[in-house]
Amino acid sequence: MQIRHRRFHYQSLNELRDAAHELELGLEFDEDVSRLRNPVTISGKIVPNSIAIQPMEGHDGTPDGRPSELTFRRYRRFAAGGAGMLWFEATAITPDGRANPQQLMLTKDTLPSFSSLLAETLAIAQEQFGSRHRPFTVLQLTHSGRYSRPQGKPAPIIAFHDPYLDTETHVLPDQLPISDAEIMDLEDRFVEAAELAQAAGFDAVDIKHCHRYLPSELLAAHTRDGQYGGSFENRIRFLVNTVDKIKARLGDGIVVTTRINAYDGHPYPYGWGVTEEEGSRKPCLDEIKRLTEILCERGVPLINITAGNPYHDPHINRPYDLPVKGAELPNEHPLEGVARLIHIARVVQETVPEMVVIGSGYSWLRQFLGNVGAANIRNGWVTMVGVGRGAFAYPDFAKDLLVNGMMDRKKACITCSRCTQFMREDRATGCAVFDREVYGRR
């Protein structure tokens, strides 16, 4: 069998363009990245440019869920980097929904620390770029569901039994899925957390629906009985109800959004965004299109599109050169993975041109991510370009793109998966390669 995976080895934009052309990926590349400077308006608020930092967990909160000094450091660095939007990392809304004992958690007790984190982040941004530069801030609210590990060992809460995942996620055959009443109660926990996020001063709150954590799993709950399973209307009920409840409680006080899988790559009937044939993993974006239209009608102005399950098929979520320990290289060229993520965001953006759509999965493109992002914005395939791992490695990448029109090749993330590896080893995470003083020597 021909091995398709290749490490990044492109010295120039032309070489990368040729590779994409050869693979017939339909990607475009702009020499001029000035479109990344476009300001964006979200519910009357001005986002100063079209670059977003994606939510990236640092696994460094305190036992009760407050940001630690390392957390503060991460957001200081992101703020000083100049991105127009800072999407704060996965923050649990209940203790049993924490993915690890260091995950941030928003409660009445931890609220003052979140307020300080946000205030300090915004102050640094303004100190660097002037009082008119106010990054738009989103707090990602999560329940980890199947991947909950609040005490450091698996304590899964499932929406349904999934024969592809149950064994690897330590789900016993007789475990009962979360009940409808408990899901309804969770909607209210998300509303309470949204209220706290508003009190902390965030511009927006993300009802996280990606990467197969609990709400994301509900989208794929074809085999579940009751109000939250089976039909499309039932599988999206949790998201729609939670959006409506937050809006009813907080009105225009906070923007409601979601970071959502358009496609998760799990086989039907256990997957979301896949064609409805037994065992099929082939993307089918009809449901994400319908759902986005519904969200748009309900006043959701912003959506962050992602894909995959980082525990199961990490290459779908984050194309890489090197896998985490013990994992195999996928038999696809990472550029194909990047193109998949770009085209799913494009389908959503073209469905709802009036919404601000953020695309994901750009870090593998190294110093050329801005060239692809600018072309995507020019084509109307996306409104904003989101960067995850690349921001751990090179927090100033946005400033370099916006001011100098280019990134420094020597600082760009090399997609070595060590940041993901740290998460898997229950260690604080960041970039072991370019932020070596903090993360390299441990």
Ligand X SMILES: Cc1cc2nc3c(=O)[nH]c(=O)nc-3n(C[C@H](O)[C@H](O)[C@H](O)COP(=O)(O)O)c2cc1C
Dihedral sign, Cα of residue 196, residue 198, residue 203, residue 204? positive
Cis omega (within 30 of 0) on the bond before 395?
A: no
Task: For the chain, state the CA radius of gyration.
Answer: 20
Nearer to ligand X, 210 or 288 (CB): 210
Nearer to ligand X, 268 or 394 (CB): 394
Nearer to ligand X, 211 or 266 (CB): 211
Angstrom distance (rounded) from CA 303 to CA 297 = 13
Q: Which parts of 23-92 fold into alpha helices (H)?
A: 69-80
Among the candidate windows 33-41, 54-62, 108-116, 175-183, which touches ligand X by CB under 6 A?
54-62
- State yes or no: residue 247 binds ligand X (CB under 6 A): no
- State yes or no: residue 371 binds ligand X (CB under 6 A): no
- State yes or no: residue 217 binds ligand X (CB under 6 A): no
- State yes or no: residue 140 binds ligand X (CB under 6 A): yes
Nearer to ligand X, 210 or 355 (CB): 210
Residue 87 backbone zone (phi > 0: left; psi -120 to 50: alpha; other: beta): beta
CB of 365 to ligand X, least distance (A): 8
Nearer to ligand X, 235 or 315 (CB): 315
Site for ligand X in 56-115 (CB under 6 A): 56-57, 89-90
Angstrom distance (rounded) from CA 140 to CA 38 = 24
**Residue from 49, 100, 113, 306 binding ligand X (CB under 6 A):** 306
Among the candidate windows 78-86, 269-277, 373-381, 417-425, which touches ligand X by CB under 6 A?
417-425
**Residue from 158, 210, 345, 432 binding ligand X (CB under 6 A):** 210
> Tokens representing 52?
């977003």
3-class SS of residue 8: coil
Nearer to ligand X, 229 or 302 (CB): 302
Nearer to ligand X, 169 or 417 (CB): 417
Residue 207 bridge partners (DSSP): 141
CB of 278 to ligand X, least distance (A): 29
Q: Please enumerate in sequence order all residues whose Cβ is within 8 A of that of 407, keeping only pairs 6 or more positions apart, or say none.
A: 366, 367, 369, 370, 394, 397, 400, 401
CB of 209 to ligand X, least distance (A): 10
> What long-range pairs does 297-300 form, CB within 8 A, spacing at least 24?
298/240, 298/243, 298/244, 298/247, 299/247, 299/256, 300/243, 300/256, 300/257, 300/258, 300/355
388-416 burial by CB neighbour count: b if 16+ within 10 A, else e? Answer: bbbbbbbbbbbbbbbeebebeeebbbbbb
Among the candidate windows 16-24, 156-164, 185-193, 354-362, which touches ligand X by CB under 6 A?
354-362
Nearer to ligand X, 137 or 306 (CB): 306
**Residue from 388, 399, 418, 435 binding ligand X (CB under 6 A):** 388
**Residue from 261, 292, 360, 367 binding ligand X (CB under 6 A):** 360
**Is residue 82 a contact partner of residue 128, using CB atoms and an 8 Å limit?**
yes
- State yes or no: residue 429 binds ligand X (CB under 6 A): yes
Residues forming the site for ligand X (CB under 6 A): 54-57, 89-90, 140, 210, 259, 306, 317-318, 360-364, 387-390, 419-420, 423, 429
